[in-house]
Structure 1
Amino acid sequence: MKQIILTGSASGFGLKAVKTLALQGHTVYATMRNIKWLSGANAAVAQELKDWAKAHNVKVEVVEMDVTSTVSVNAAVAEIAKKSGGRIDVLINNAGVSYYGFGEALTIEQTEQMYQVNTLGPERTMKAVLPYMHAQKEGLIINVTSVQSRNHIPSLSTYNGTKAALDAATVGYHYELKSSGIDVVNIQPGAFQTTDITNKRIVGKNEEVEAKYGEDALNFKRALLQYFVPTPESGDPQEVADAMLKLVELPKGERPLWTIVGGGPMTEKFEAINQSTKDIVDFNVSILPQLFPTK
């Protein structure tokens, strides 16, 4: 059984994944912000998760971690390593923040916040756990990106950028680390309206700029807002938790670089982009050492 760190465990995909992984016998370190009793925003969910773990006799440790803080990330990973006897088998970078609306409506500070959580947060956690994985000569990192890293539609421009950046970085890490015995892979979820993606989204502080936009852009934004309203046909976020479990339990070296979950009718097109990206990288990885030999 594996020692697993999972970020963004307070709700959505993360909370389902903690329970899914723990019920299969893995030890899960469920990280989230603000778990201090009484004053913390996630104190109640942290206690509920602890109670659930006790009731189901599974191994879940709730650990404070703010992925936007290098100090917090390093302290949390050090605490987890102490609890796990120095072993970290899996890191799942699930923490994320959403925004849909015009990019201009965000302040630069809000844009920076999105990149801090969605892009730089995973960089922090990867750098914190990799020394342990190198010492073990094995490990798995799963980065939760999005089909929006491929589907660059309007009214999601800033969010698309944060996820595309993480997706691209994951590809680089995948090739850099695979000969060290460490798998680095992407999960690309589609929209799962029954999560808290809507009520926890960032609200732009400069929404008055919308008065300057054309009716086509406004109509698309309205349609997108309607698309995120849950319906009986909305996908089940458990699918994403199940995809995480499958990747965790696949043998080293056999995990796919991308796993699309809930991509809808565009799934084949997203898969084609992924395959084209892999073909290009594979070509470069094979040809550059031949063109520029170092020995």
Structure 2
Amino acid sequence: MKHIILTGSASGFGLKAVKTLALQGHTVYATMRNVKWLSGANAKVAKELKEWATENNAKVEVVEMDVASTASVNSAVAEIAKKSGGRIDVLINNAGVTYYGLGEALTIEQTEQMYQVNTLGPERTMKAVLPYMHAQKDGLIINVTSVQSRNLIPSLSTYNGTKAALDAVSVGYHYELKSAGIDVVTIQPGAYQTTDITNKSIVGKNEVVQAQYGDDAMAFKRALLQYFVPTPESGDPQEVADAMLKLVEQPKGERPLWTIVGGGPMAEKFQAMNQAIKEIVEFNINILPQLFPAQ
């Protein structure tokens, strides 16, 4: 059984994944912000998760971590390593924030916040756990990106950028770390309206700019927000938790670089884009050492 760090465990995909993984016998370090009892925003969910673990004889440890803070990440990983005897088998970078609307309506500070959580946060956690994985010559990192790293539609421009950046970083790490015995892969989820993704999204502080935009831009924004209203046909976010479990339990070296979950009618096109990127990257990996051999 594996020791797994999972970020963004307070809700959505993360909370379902904690329970899914723990019920299979894995030890899950469920990280989240603000878990201090009574005063923290996630104190209630942390308490309920601990109670659930006790009731189900599951191995779950709730650990305070803010992925936007290097000090917080390093402190949390050190605490987890102490609890696990220095063993960290899996890191799942799931924490994220969203924004639906015009990119200009975000202040630069809000844009920075999104990149801090969605892009730099996973970089922080990867750099914190990799020394342990190198010592083991073994490990798995799963970065939760999005089909929006391929589906670059308006009214999600900043979010698209954060996820596309993480997806690109993941590709580089995947090939860089392969010979070190460490797998780096991504999950690209589609839209799951029954999560709390919309309720927790950022509200632009500069929305006055909307008055300068044409009807086409505003009509698309309204349609996009309507698309995220849950319906009886909405997908089940448990599918993403199940995809995480499948990757965790697959043999090393056999895990696909990308796993699309709930990609909708465009899933085949997203997969074709992934395949094209893979072919380009592997062409360069094969040809460059031949063109510039070691002296």
User: Shared fold (TM-score greater than 0.5)?
Assistant: yes
Partner of 1:42: 42
Distance 1:294 1:202 in 2: 49
Name the CA distance, whole Å, in 1 between partners of 2:73 and 2:286: 36
Deviations 1:64-96 (A, max 9, x none): 000000000000000000000000000000000
Q: How does 1:139-178 map to 2 (within 5 A)?
A: 139-178=139-178
Q: Which amino acid letter does the alignment assign opposite residue 35 of structure 2?
A: I
What is the match of residue 202 of structure 1?
A: 202
The residue identity in structure 1 corresponding to 2:128 is: A
Work out the CA distance in 2 between the residues paired with 1:170 and 1:88: 19
SS at match of 2:88: coil
Opposite residue 182 of structure 2, the aligned amino acid is I
Q: Tell me what 1:214 maps to.
A: 214
Map of 1:7 onto structure 2: 7
Counterparts of 2:55 and 2:225 in 1: how far apart (Å)?
Answer: 39
Q: What is the correspondence of 1:49-198 to structure 2 with a 5 Å cutoff?
A: 49-198=49-198
For residues 58 and 105 of structure 1, what CA distance do their matches in structure 2 show?
Answer: 44
Partner of 2:273: 273
SS at match of 1:141: strand
State the distance in 1 between where 2:275 and 2:197 align: 28
TM-score normalized by structure 1? 1.00
Question: Which position in structure 2 is the counterpart of 1:245?
Answer: 245
The one-letter amino acid of 1:34's match is: N
* Counterpart amino acid of residue 202 in structure 1: I
Q: Give the unaligned 5+ runs of structure 2.
A: none
Deviations 1:139-184 (A, max 9, x none): 0000000000000000000000000000000000000000000000
Query: How big is the shift at 1:217?
Result: 0.7
Aligned-pair identity in percent equals 86
Q: What corresponds to 1:255 in structure 2?
A: 255
CA RMSD of aligned residues (A): 0.3
Letter in 1 for 2:99: Y
CA–CA separation in structure 2 for the residues paired with 1:20 and 1:65 = 21
In the alignment, the residues of structure 1 paired with residue 294 and residue 112 of structure 2 have an alpha-carbon distance, to the nearest angstrom, of 39
Distance apart, 1:238 and its partner CA: 0.1
In structure 2, what residue type is equivalent to 1:147?
Answer: V
Query: Residues of 1 paired with 2:233 and 2:199: CA distance?
Result: 19
Q: Secondary structure at the match of 1:57?
A: coil
* TM-score, structure 2 normalization: 1.00
* Separation in 1, partners of 2:65, 2:50: 16
Question: Post-superposition shift, 1:125?
Answer: 0.1
Listed one character per residue, the Cα deviations across residues 193-224 of structure 1 (whole Å, up to 9, x for unaligned) are 00001100000001110000011111101100
SS in 1 for 2:260: strand
Report the Cα distance in structure 2 between the residues aligned to 1:46 and 1:218, rounded to whole angstroms.
39
Q: Following TM superposition, where does structure 1 have runs of at least 4 consecutive aligned residues deviating by more than 4 angstroms?
A: none
Separation in structure 1 between the aligned mates of residue 28 and residue 197 of structure 2, nearest angstrom = 23
Distance 1:27 1:177 in 2: 24
What CA distance in whole angstroms lies between the structure 2 residues aligned with 1:276 and 1:43? 44
How far does residue 294 in structure 1 lie from its aligned partner after superposition?
A: 1.3
Amino acid of the structure 2 residue aligned with 1:285: I
2:21 paired residue number: 21
Distance (Å, rounded) in 1 between the aligned partners of 2:177 and 2:46: 33
Separation in 2, partners of 1:218, 1:106: 15
In 1, the alpha carbon distance for the partners of 2:280 and 2:187 equals 20
Distance 1:256 1:112 in 2: 31
SS for the counterpart of 1:234 is coil
Secondary structure class of the residue paired with 1:172: helix
Task: Give the letter aligned to residue 47 of structure 2.
Answer: Q
